[in-house]
Amino acid sequence: MVYNRCVGTRYCSNNCPYKVRRFNFLLYQDWDTTQYKLMRNPEVSIRSRGVMEKCTYCTQRIASARIEAEKDERAIRDGEIVTACQAACPTNVFSFGDMNDHSSEVSKKKTDPRNYTLLNNLNTQPRTTYLAELKNQNKEMPDYRPVHFPAVDYQESESPETGEVNNEGH
Amino acid sequence: MALKEKEKDQIATTSALSPKELRDMHRKLVPAMIEGDHTFGTVSDKIGDVALKRKTPFHWFIGVAIAFCVAQLLLFTTIWLLLKGIGIWGTNQPAGWAFPIINFVWWIGIGHAGTLISAILLLLNQKWRTSINRFAEAMTLFAVANAAIFPLVHTGRPWLAAYWLFPYPNVMGIWPQFRSPLIWDVFAVSTYATVSLLFWYVGLIPDLATLRDRAKNPFFKFIYSIFSWGWRGSARHWHRYELAYLILAGISTPLVLSVHSLVSLDFAVSQIPGWHATFFPPYFVAGAIYAGFAMVLILCIPLRHLYNMKDFITHTHLVFLRKGDDGDRIYRCLQLRNGGLLRLVRCVAVRVVHDQEPHMGGPILFHVLAADLV
């Protein structure tokens, strides 16, 4: 999402199957009050009205990590970029990294059988994927629930003859 | 609904008729397109006087006053929109287009009838178009101009969208996204507007020359002289005129179908359930033709009364214009001369619309209602 290029046709938002995009229908930000400028992150541009918004995976942090790596003439190390949500999360659920690097933490997590995508059957190829919930595995305990693998379930629900997805029971 | 049995019989037996019977049937099918005792001279007088007569009729001022008020409202609301942002429409997630897209699709649809009447009916040799084609084309031009407002003002930052959506070589080296139907729209609508304008103007040249010859006021004579391009009505002029007109008709005919197809692709290319549908292009075109013809009627009925043009825009014209009043008669207006190809087209269309695609009956019903209201 390049905010400076956005003219606000809202086509991406209309067509977003996840409906995650949000639009600045009016000017929501106070540009003029001086003391607000101190409050804001100087690395993040303030979006004007008429611009679509979406999670950028903290592009400013990616950019600064890339600059550091380029100065040292090396690749960006795994775990060097920490997104804001990742830094703030008390339960450490997020991982962020290079999907093309098969030794990175995020690549390892993506090979976990609990890993699943949302609406990938529409060929959206989402890069954000999720891990299925993991409950207490001790069968004696009251909060025991067997672990399930949504991606495997989805594959199995696919009819082998027609290739069509059986959506019943979802 | 397929073809009625009676019609099938009629089509089947047509070839068995004698030439005289065919002529009689033809007279019955094609009533006079002009009423009263008119020669070429009286027709020119009557139509030319509208433009050349000194006294402006009172109803003209009423019409202009209404149009002026509405145009001021548009001006006011557009300025407010540019100052405040599109939030003033109350649109919100997840349907981000709402108001502007309705207006855009509607105006583009209205703009279809003019070129349909001009181009397709010209190619199909439908003589009845001549009484109404000029103002239908003018209506097209204004409708397309109106439609062009909405893609611009619907954007969040119209001051940038006004030129960023066009592929021009800029210093930033940035091009629009050619895979986006919005860009296809930009091309489709601007092509359509250009060709419609040319068509309207080329058709107007001999008429402007007539006005030039009749104008008394030297100023208006000068203006008409410039815009009639030295037309003298020689055989060579007419030959070139007919050729140019025919070529333009050939260019515009696919445009009639392509423009609204592309508009519908704005929706159909997306993945949204309810929008992602292959019947959108023909549905939009069919709806546009209905709406456009309805608008021609809205303009033509007061016009023929106020300017006393009932001899030229006869009841027959009105009947032809509302031939789409029944589901299985969508293409009847094109089929008047009973050409074999047209009959085929119509049969196919009727089959597709009503037999193969029964779910389209509902949407078409709305158009039928709208057309009938008119």
| Nearest CA-CA distance, residue A118 and chain B, Å | 14
Query: What's the confidence (pLDDT) of residue A66?
Result: 94
Partners of B150 on chain A (C-beta within 8 Å) are: none
> CB distance from A39 to chain B under 8 Å?
no
Tell me: the pLDDT tens digits for B171-193?
878 888 888 888 888 888 888 88
pLDDT per position as a tens digit, B6-26: 555 555 555 566 777 776 666
Q: Quote the ipTM score.
A: 0.73
Which letter does DSSP use for residue B193 in this model?
A: H
DSSP of B62-93: HHHHHHHHHHHHHHHHHHHHHHH-GGGGT--S
**The pLDDT of residue B27:** 60
Residues of A in contact with B271 (CB under 8 A): 15, 17, 122, 124
A71 pLDDT band (50/70/90 cuts)?
very high
Q: Percentage of residues in chain A with pLDDT exceeding 70?
A: 92
- How many C-alpha atoms does A166 have within 13 Å on its Cβ side? 12
Q: Which amino acid is present at B302?
A: P
Average pLDDT over residues B274-281: 81
What residues of A are in contact with residue B93 (Cβ under 8 Å)? 13, 19, 22-23
- How does pLDDT run across B310-361, given as a tens digit for each residue? 777 777 777 777 664 443 344 443 333 334 334 434 444 443 444 333 333 3
Angle at A153 between CA A123 and CA A93, to 5 degrees: 75
Question: In the numeric block, which tokens belong to residue A25?
Answer: 């229908």
- Closest chain B residue to the Cα of A52, Cα to Cα: B156
Report the pLDDT value the prediction gives residue B5, as an integer from 0 to 100.
60
Span B111-122, mean pLDDT?
A: 78
- Whether residue A25 and residue B92 make contact (CB cut-off 8 A), yes or no, is yes
Q: Please, which residues bridge with residue A131 across strands?
A: A115
CB contact, 8 Å: B188 with chain A? no
Percent of chain A surpassing pLDDT 90: 21
All residues of chain A having their beta carbon less than 8 Å from the beta carbon of residue B270 are 14-15
Q: Confirm or reject contact between B98 and chain A (CB < 8 A).
A: no
Average confidence (pLDDT) over A126-133: 90
Show the CA angle centred on residue B294, arms to residues B315 and B244, nearest 5°.
Answer: 85
Tell me whether residues B96 and A122 touch, CB distance under 8 A: no
Average pLDDT of chain B is 75
User: Which pLDDT tens digit goes with each residue over B252-262?
Assistant: 888 888 888 88
Give me the DSSP letters along B128-158. GGGGTHHHHHHHHHHHHHHHHHHHHHTSS-H
Chain A residues touching B174 at Cβ < 8 A: 5
Contacts with A, B 246-275, CB within 8 Å? 266, 270-272
Residues 6+ positions from B314 with CB-CB distance below 8 Å: B31, B32, B33, B34, B35, B131
Q: Check if B87 contacts A (Cβ < 8 Å).
A: yes
State residue A35's pLDDT score.
Answer: 87
The structure's pTM equals: 0.72
Task: Assign A83 a pLDDT band (cuts: 50, 70, 90).
Answer: very high
Q: What is the percent of chain B where pLDDT is above 70?
A: 77
Identify the pLDDT of residue A89: 93
Query: Cβ of A47 under 8 Å from any chain B Cβ?
Result: no
Q: Contact B94/A13, CB-based, under 8 Å? A: yes
pLDDT score for B368: 36
Decide if B160 touches A, using CB distance below 8 A.
Answer: yes
Max mean pLDDT range (A4-8, B34-38, B326-330): A4-8
Asked if the model's pLDDT at residue A53 lies above 50, the reply is: yes
Q: What residues of chain A lie within 8 A of the CB of B160, using their CB? A: 7
CATH architecture observed for domain B96-321: Up-down Bundle (1.20)
